[in-house]
Each structure stands twice: as structure tokens, then as C-alpha cells.
Amino acid sequence: MNFLYLCKTTYRLRALPAKTLRMYTPPFKITTRAINLIAEISAMVERFAIRMEQDDALLLRKINRIKTIQGSLAIEGNTLTESQITDIIDGKHVVAPIREIQEVRNAIKTYNLYSQLDPYSVKDLLRAHGVMMEALADDAGHFRKSGVGVFAGAKAIHIAPPANRVPTLIADLFEWLKKADDHLLIKSCVFHYEFEFIHPFSDGNGRTGRLWQSLILGQLHPVFEHLPIENMVYANQQGYYDAINRSSAEANSGIFIDFMLEEIFKTLKKRQGKPLDETSYPIDTDIPKLEVHDIVHEFNHDIPLITKYPQEEQENTQETKPITQEKEISTREIHDSTQENPRNTQEKILTAIRNNPRITRRELAVLLNRTEDSIKYQLLKLTRQGIIKHVGATKAGEWQILKENHR
């Protein structure tokens, strides 16, 4: 078995952090579709926020919370309906498997902690998992101590990194989440994928990962607390698992980013300005349940964790990756090009133009998490300095870099 094959089929190339190395950055790419979705979502969030301020907002929040819990647990195989979950919330007797009732009660308590949880805190992550998996897992609130795999029937879909690497990998991920200046919509999707890849717990990884993406999105706008994205994901759970698997095969989470942004967009679009009685669309009970679940294995943990610096991994994958029809923009290239001065917007703009000469001002603003006015100002400066010029029509033209290494 050669080195590259082993890397791709075990734990993906990942650096062991050292004090002399810069912050680890997960491998991901942003497609043009993702940029357009971010712009659309940003506009729709404000309209949804207005909807949440109407007279029936309190009831709407309750309905959406029920949908969130039902969707997230249904992905994991819980069969309780929205009506049954409502009865549990209201303290009514429900006839159902004890474990499924416990899962619902735990999820209710966990989501009630939403406003108290810090999405940048590992301690809060463990706290949330402890509540989510109370009486369901012996190690609730603690990272796993043994190997874990995700299986569909007898087929192993994913074998997670060794348990002794979990604390370090999670610490790296949270450091990136806290310090990276990518758009929060992008960071929430990348975090979700990386979290599922690491699989830090013996059970409850899926529901905890989806909760944490919601928490991260809540930093972008408070209304994300009441947006039942999990409900839409459940309706397309095959696509959810396919996106995770395809991203793993590509060794970056770009495909998963596109999928989750599509689900967020569809959820917002479905709920724009509709009266309350139209927002309560039912879950499709005919959707076949996927027998995908965590299985803890007491297998040998001596399988080596292949280590390599993130920038080296990126270089290797770029050499072998075919050119796709849709232009992809590597965020790692943008961050790496500005290592000495990460706030140098002009350098980031130039790197984005090198990747996609047809990139628009709007796309640059979304990609770099800046306002369009600030991008316009920097583009004008670069043009006046003779560093870049725009050729062709305003919308159909492209940028040309006239001077390299201008600093």
C-alpha cells in the first residue's frame, strides 16, 4: 500500500501542530455557486428576521424548534413525529420506545441551552453533548476512548482518527473556527464536516454537529436559532451522507459546503413571509430510513496517523486534481498568500483574481467577508496604481494583473 493511498483511506493528511507552525486550516474550496448562495442567504435572513417579529412569532419559534429536534433525531433513526414531540414538550404521556423519548427530552434540554452555549468553547461542546446524550451513552460529555466507525449495514463508510488524537484535532478545529476570518456561513459548514470527520464521541456526533453549526450561524444572525435546517436535511438525508462521503473522497469539504448552503437557502426560501398555518409542512414519512450509525470498536489504535503540513497537502492535491468546469477558489491560497499580513485585503483580492479572473466585486466581497464598498475602493486603488485593469464589459469582462510582487 503506497503512502498516498494510505493517507486518503485512513485519516487524511493532517499536521501535528507545533509552536513554530501557523494555525491549522482545514482543506476546503469555495465554488462560485457557494458565493452566490451566501449572497442570497444574507439577503433572505433579514426578511426571515422580519417574519420572526410578527404577532405569531412566539408560536412560530416553538413550531420551528420542534421541527429542528424532529429532523435532527430522525436522521439518526428516531421515529417520533412532530405531534409526539409536541406532547412531550407539553408534558403529555407518549407511547413510544423509552430510548426515543429520552432522545427527545435530551434534545429539548440541549436546545434550551442554546443562548448559554459559546460556539467557540470546547468546554461548552462537552457540556452540550453531556446533556444531549444523558442516559443514552456511558461517556456522555466526554471524548471517546476507543475507535469508532460509521457503518451502513456491514460496510464501513468512515473510520475515524484514533481516540488519542481527538482532543488535539478538536482543539485545532476550534482554534481555526475562532481565528479564521472566513464568512461564518462557510465556517459553519466546514466545522460541521470536520466535526463529523473527527467523530469525537462514541455516539451522538451527528446531532451534536448539527447543533453546533446552528450555534455558529447564530453568531451571524440570531434568527438561525429558530431556522429548522435539520428538517430539510432529513428530507434529503441521502444527499447529506453523499456530500460527506464525496468531500472525504476529494479531501476537502467544498462539496459539503455547497450542499449545506443549498439546504439553508431552501429552508429560508420555504419560510419567506408565509402565514403560520403554511409553514408547518409535514416530514415525508415515506422517506426510507438509512441504517447509518456509529459503532464503537475496540480495534487496535496503532494504525498510524499520517502527518504532513497542511500547505504541503494542498500543493499535492492541487497537482493531481483535474480542472473542473466551475472555477473553484482555494481559501487556503488566499490565507497563505497573506501570512505576513493577514489583513492585507489587496493581496487577498489579487490571489482571488489569479484563481478566477472573472470574479465580480460582489463575489469578492462575499469571499473576503468585506463590504462591496470596501472592495470597490481597493479595486480602484489597485487600478490607479497600475497593478490591475479590467478588460471587457462590466459584467462579462475579466481582471488582468499587470504587476506581480508590487509591494
Q: 274 falls in which pLDDT band (50, 70, 90)?
A: low
Retrieve residue 37's grid coordinates: 448562495
Retrieve residue 209's grid coordinates: 454537529
Give the mean pLDDT of 361-380: 79
Supply the CATH classification number for the domain 338-401.
Answer: 1.10.10.10
Q: Is residue 83 scored above 50 in pLDDT?
A: yes
> pTM of the predicted model, to two decimals?
0.69
DSSP sequence for 103-160: HHHHHHHHHHTGGG--TT-HHHHHHHHHHHTTTT-TTTTS--SSEEEEEETTEEEEEP
Query: H or E segment at 186?
Result: helix 184-198
Rounded CA separation 249/405 (Å): 35
Query: Strand 147-152 to strand 292-297: parallel, antiparallel, or no bridges (unpaired)?
Result: antiparallel
Q: Which of 64-78, 175-189, 245-259, 278-292 has the lowest mean pLDDT?
A: 278-292
Domain boundaries, the chain: 3-297, 338-401
Give the mean pLDDT of 262-278: 74
- Could you report the per-residue pLDDT of 84-139, keeping only the tens digit for each? 999 999 999 999 999 999 999 999 999 999 999 999 999 999 999 999 999 999 99
Domain covering 3-297: architecture:
Orthogonal Bundle (1.10)
- Could you report the per-residue pLDDT of 162-192, keeping only the tens digit for each? 999 999 999 999 999 999 999 999 999 999 9
Location of C-alpha cell 434534545:
107
Are 85 and 91 in contact by the 8 Å Cβ rule? The answer is no
Are 176 and 120 in contact by the 8 Å Cβ rule? The answer is no
Q: 288 falls in which pLDDT band (50, 70, 90)?
A: very low
Rounded CA separation 221/49 (Å): 9
Q: Which residues contact 210 (CB under 8 A, 6 or more apart)?
A: 72, 75, 192, 229, 230, 233
